[in-house]
Structure formats: structure tokens, C-alpha cells
């Protein structure tokens, strides 16, 4: 009798509801109670909208909100536009595994490491200024506010460097579900140029498949804390940093307006999402009119090429940012305006070794545990779908994306209050639990498509040989999907290593990781020690990606050798 998988799906669904959805809901409820003045521990027993009035009256509140909306929309719009243009220009040369390999360095780099490296590159004494110094005649670093600028340009650049590779990877996955070559051949036969075909025919089909990932990018751009601290405006800061400062204020009464600000950030995300859907409708009507108007002009092509060059330039800046981390961690004397350090030394690494071990150990433990739990849940979820013989419902997609669509600060502090009542706050277990909330969605996103693309005839062949469901999973599915599983684990590791707020809140400030230390040190004067922590962050993520690509190649090479020897 063929197992239905109902029991397995029910167990996994219960685990997700109890372990992921319930904590998020509980966190939002706790935050909401404090936002409306109900927090007896600080003597607040309900004051209606007074908390919201005090929040709106805080200095810099409205400027901070405007900054957040500007930076969030600008970073998302530019990232989506440039990624689409680059994909339109180069998608024929970007396929699956090869694209994942060359996108891997920027995908693997934690947001914090990229932000710190970009700050090194864009600083008045950074590489760009050193490159321009002989041309412009600067004898000392220029007095230019390129980092923490009031318009948030540096933060927008940092977000674009991280989000464009993610959107490119998502678009490539979407293109694999569309008959691109057939559409292109038919339209070219009617006299349309390749660039026009892509914009008029391919892009409208790609959009529904990437809508949710774009919302994830928008949510992160609106709510980032660590990148906002390092690159964003300082006074007033972006709204997420504004709210975090209220939470960290020595006056406990500030928790109330901080909770109101956390809920307002979630509201801003809702408004931004609604704006995106309205813009989608407007673009749809405008696009239909444009398509009906005909036209085979190639005026789009130069714009696509310019946008593609911008993407390449951003990738180069991102690469320079990562290299600068290593250089600063090893530099001993680096005078202006030399492009390279005059003397090198491992002394910064030796100076940091005393406290580095604890942060590194915690990072490895938390990442390993959160990735293991997330992979187990994802594999059981997908296996349950297979046994049930049914794909994922719409509510399942929302369930997976929910932690990524909500601002972290909107529920993490409330969740920490709940964990305090349960007596589990401040420990490694609480941090791992909080990080699984964000690692699991990425693992599911990466693993879902390869799992569903597995040829069902292989499973039927195994069943005909007497293999049960468990044996099919262990001896057929997992070995064949070893590469996607390891890539999902690598992305999960990069996500875990980069988590700042979950570690800070759930660890109650007592659990140090490479990310928490790097963010703390980023505002200090010693670039060398900051470079050490940020470099080690990036090295861990790169190592995970290297394992994900090297292990399957080694395993499959050995199998091919054995097969050849047998013949």
C-alpha cells in the first residue's frame, strides 16, 4: 500500500506551526501589548494611543521614516531594474550551476562583511579616494561624507551589491520554467529584436515567479539594522536603527515607544507591499498599451547595456570590498595615498585571538545547529509533499516566506520577552531557535525546485525493486540531490553567520558571535581588528560554498572512475 504522507506532513506542519509561526505570532502580540501601553513590568497598565504620540514626538522621527522609505524603495527598484536588464543581456550565457558559481562569492558574503568592506572602500582614505588622489591632487584624504551620508547613498549601494546577485539567481530559476528559446525564435521571426522580445514577452512572465523574492528584498531594505548602523545616515538614522536605539536605551520606559516603532515598521512594510502591487497594476496596463502599439525599435538595447555595465561595476566594488577586509586585517602600516600597505603583519589576528575564539566557536555552533534543523525540516516537508502526491498550496508559500516578509525587530523583542518568561532567554538554544526562523525559509527556497525537478521514474524504479519510502529517500533522493542540499546548507550557513538582531536580542547581549562583534567594532577607530572579524565572517561563508561545490564533484568523480573500471 502506497503511503499517503499525511502523517509526515502533519508532523512537519505541527513542528513549523509550533516552532516558527507561533513564536512569530507570540512576539508580535507581546510587541503589540507594549506598543499600546500594556507592560506591567515597567509600570505601564494601558494608555491607549499615548505611546504612539510620544513616539511621533521624538526628535528625528519623521525624518527617519522618510529616509527608510526612500532607501527601501530606491534600493529595491534599482536592484530589480539592474538585475532584469543584466539578465536580459546575458541570460543566454548564464545557466544553472555555472551562474551559481560566479554569483557565489557575493551571495556567500554576509551583509555585515560587505557593509564593512564597502565602508573601507568608500571612506575618505579608502581605495577609491587613493585611486583618485594623484589625478585630483589630493595631498590628504578629502573631507567628503561618503559613508553615513544624509541621503543614504552608501547604504543603497551596499544593499544593491547584496540583493542583485540574489535576484539574478531567482530570475535564472524562473527562466528555467519558461520556454525562452521558443518565445525568442517566434518573436525574432516576426522581426523583433532580442532586447525588445525580452522586455515585452519574457519579463512579464518572469515577474509572477519572482514577486515574493522581490518583496523579501523590499522587506530587508526597509528593516536592515546592521547595514544601517555601518553605512546608513547617523543622526537621524534609518527607522530600524532608530527603533533599536530606543530598545537599547537605559530608560526602561523607552521600551513602550520602541515597541510602537517596531509595529510601525511592520506597517510601513505593509504600505510598501501595497504600493508595489499598485505599481504592478499600473505597469501591466501601460505594458499592454505598449505591446498593442507594436514597434520593433531597438532603442531599449543601449539602456540594457548601460544597466549591465552598472551591474558589473557594482560587482567589482563588492569584490574590492571583500578584498579590502583581508588587506586591512593584515596591514601594519598603510600611509596615504599608497594603494597597498607598506608593511604587513599578523599582529591584528594575534591581538584579536584572545576574544576571537569564543565568538568563532559560538558562530560555528549556532550556524551548524540552525542549518541542521532547517535542512531536516525542509527535507521532511518536501518528502511529505512527494508521498502525498500534491504540490505546495499557496498558504504553504506564505508560511515559508513569512519570517522574511516581516521586519525582524517587529517581533524579536516581543519574542525575547516571552523567552524571558519561559526562562530560556540568554542561552545558545534561544539564539539557535531564533536563527532557524530565518535560515529555514532560505533553505526551502533553494531546495524546493531541484527536489521537484527530480525524475519520478527513478523513484518508481526503486519502488519496483522493493525499496520502501525511507529507503528511497536515503538511497535515491538524497544522493541524487546531494549538490542542491549542500548549496542550501551553504546559503543557510551564510544566513546564520550574518544574523545580528536574533543573536543580540535572544542572547540578551551575552552571546558573542563574529557578526555582533564586527558590528560593535565597525564604529571604532581600529580598522585592523574590524577587518579581522569581518574577514573571518566571510571566510566561514566562502568555506561553506566551497564545500558545497567540491564535495559533489569529488563524489561524482569517484563514481565515474568506478564505473569506468567496471567496464
- Are the beta carbons of 451 and 384 closer than 8 angstroms? no
Distance, CA of 64 to chain centre: 23
Q: How confident is the model at residue 124 (pLDDT cuts 50, 70, 90)?
A: confident
Burial of 436 (0-12, 13-18, 19+ CB in 10 A): buried
pTM for this predicted structure: 0.89
Note the pLDDT tens digit of each residue in 355-373: 778 888 999 999 999 999 9
pLDDT at residue 94 is higher than 60: yes
What's the chain's average pLDDT?
83
- Are the beta carbons of 536 and 328 closer than 8 angstroms? no
User: What gap in Å lies between CA 1 and CA 67, rounded to an integer?
Assistant: 60
pLDDT at residue 521 is higher than 80: yes
CATH 1.10.3720.10 residue ranges for the chain:
1-24+359-559, 58-344
> What pLDDT score does 79 carry?
94
Fold that domain 1-24+359-559 belongs to in CATH: MetI-like fold (1.10.3720)
Note the pLDDT tens digit of each residue in 128-176: 888 888 888 888 888 877 888 889 999 999 999 999 998 988 888 888 7
Note the pLDDT tens digit of each residue in 420-474: 887 887 788 889 999 999 999 989 888 887 887 777 787 778 777 777 777 777 7
In which element (H, E) is residue 432 found? helix 428-452
Note the pLDDT tens digit of each residue in 11-26: 777 877 888 888 888 8
**CA count, 13 A, side-chain hemisphere, 509:** 4
| Least confident piece of the model among 4-18, 69-83, 237-251 | 4-18
Percent of the chain with pLDDT over 90: 24
CATH of domain 58-344: 1.10.3720.10
Q: Collapsing DSSP states into helix, strand and coil, what is residue 224? A: coil
Per-residue burial over 233-260, b if 16 or more Cβ lie within 10 Å, else e, is beebbbbbbbbbebbeeeeeebbbbbbb
Amino acid at each position: 500500500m502506497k503511503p499517503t504522507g499525511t502523517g509526515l506532513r502533519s508532523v512537519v506542519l505541527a513542528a513549523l506551526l509550533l516552532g516558527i509561526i507561533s513564536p512569530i505570532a507570540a512576539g508580535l502580540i507581546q510587541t503589540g501589548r507594549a506598543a499600546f501601553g500594556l507592560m506591567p513590568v515597567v509600570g505601564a497598565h494601558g494608555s491607549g494611543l499615548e505611546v504612539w504620540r510620544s513616539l511621533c514626538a521624538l526628535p528625528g522621527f519623521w525624518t527617519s521614516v522618510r529616509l527608510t522609505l526612500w532607501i527601501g524603495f530606491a534600493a529595491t527598484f534599482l536592484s530589480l531594474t539592474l538585475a532584469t536588464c543584466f539578465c536580459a543581456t546575458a541570460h543566454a550565457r548564464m545557466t544553472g550551476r555555472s551562474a551559481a558559481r560566479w554569483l557565489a562569492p557575493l551571495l556567500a558574503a554576509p551583509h555585515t562583511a560587505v557593509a564593512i568592506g564597502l565602508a573601507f572602500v568608500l571612506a575618505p582614505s579608502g581605495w577609491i579616494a587613493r585611486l583618485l588622489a594623484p589625478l585630483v591632487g589630493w595631498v590628504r584624504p578629502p573631507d567628503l561624507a561618503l559613508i553615513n551620508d544624509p541621503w543614504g547613498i552608501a547604504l543603497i549601494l551596499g544593499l544593491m551589491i547584496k540583493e542583485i546577485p540574489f535576484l539574478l539567481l531567482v530570475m535564472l530559476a524562473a527562466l528555467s520554467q519558461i520556454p525562452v528559446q521558443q518565445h525568442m525564435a517566434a518573436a525574432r521571426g516576426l522581426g523583433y529584436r532580442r532586447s525588445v522580445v525580452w522586455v515585452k514577452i519574457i519579463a512579464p512572465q518572469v515577474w509572477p515567479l519572482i514577486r515574493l523574492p522581490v518583496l523579501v528584498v523590499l522587506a530587508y531594505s526597509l528593516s536592515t539594522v546592521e547595514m544601517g548602523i555601518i553605512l546608513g545616515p547617523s543622526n537621524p538614522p534609518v527607522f530600524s536603527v532608530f527603533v533599536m536605539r530606543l530598545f537599547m536605551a537605559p530608560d526602561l520606559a523607552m521600551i513602550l515607544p520602541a515597541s510602537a516603532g517596531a509595529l510601525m515598521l511592520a506597517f510601513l512594510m505593509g504600505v510598501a507591499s501595497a504600493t508595489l502591487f499598485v505599481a504592478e497594476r499600473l505597469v501591466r496596463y501601460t505594458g499592454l498599451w505598449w505591446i498593442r502599439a507594436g514597434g520593433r525599435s531597438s532603442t531599449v538595447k543601449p539602456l540594457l547595456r548601460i544597466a549591465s555595465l552598472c551591474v558589473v561595476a557594482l560587482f567589482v566594488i563588492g569584490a574590492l570590498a571583500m578584498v579590502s577586509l583581508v588587506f586591512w586585517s593584515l596591514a601594519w602600516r598603510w600611509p596615504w595615498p599608497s594603494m597597498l600597505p607598506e608593511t604587513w603583519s599578523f599582529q591584528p589576528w594575534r591581538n584579536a585571538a584572545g576574544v576571537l575564539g569564543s565568538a568563532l566557536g559560538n558562530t560555528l555552533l549556532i550556524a551548524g545547529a540552525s542549518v541542521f534543523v532547517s535542512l531536516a525540516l525542509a527535507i521532511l516537508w518536501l518528502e511529505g509533499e512527494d508521498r502525498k502526491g500534491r504540490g505546495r498550496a499557496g498558504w504553504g508559500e506564505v508560511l515559508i516566506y513569512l519570517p522574511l516578509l516581516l521586519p525582524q525587530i517587529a517581533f524579536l523583542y516581543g519574542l525575547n520577552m516571552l523567552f524571558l518568561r519561559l526562562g530560556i532567554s540568554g542561552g545558545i538554544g534561544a539564539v539557535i531557535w531564533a536563527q532557524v526562523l530565518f535560515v529555514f525559509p532560505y533553505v526551502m527556497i533553494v531546495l524546493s525546485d531541484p527536489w521537484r525537478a527530480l525524475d519520478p521514474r527513478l523513484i518508481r524504479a526503486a519502488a519496483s525493486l522493493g525499496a520502501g519510502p525511507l529507503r528511497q529517500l536515503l538511497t535515491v533522493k538524497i544522493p541524487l540531490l546531494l549538490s542542491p542540499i549542500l548549496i542550501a546548507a551553504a546559503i543557510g550557513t551564510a544566513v546564520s553567520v550574518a544574523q545580528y538582531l536574533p543573536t543580540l536580542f535572544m542572547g540578551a547581549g551575552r552571546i558573542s558571535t563574529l557578526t555582533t562583534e564586527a558590528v560593535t567594532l565597525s564604529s571604532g577607530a581600529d580598522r585592523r581588528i574590524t577587518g579581522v572579524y569581518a574577514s573571518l565572517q566571510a571566510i566561514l561563508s566562502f568555506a561553506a560554498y566551497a564545500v558545497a561545490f567540491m564535495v559533489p564533484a569529488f563524489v561524482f568523480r569517484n563514481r565515474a572512475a568506478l564505473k569506468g573500471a567496471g567496464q
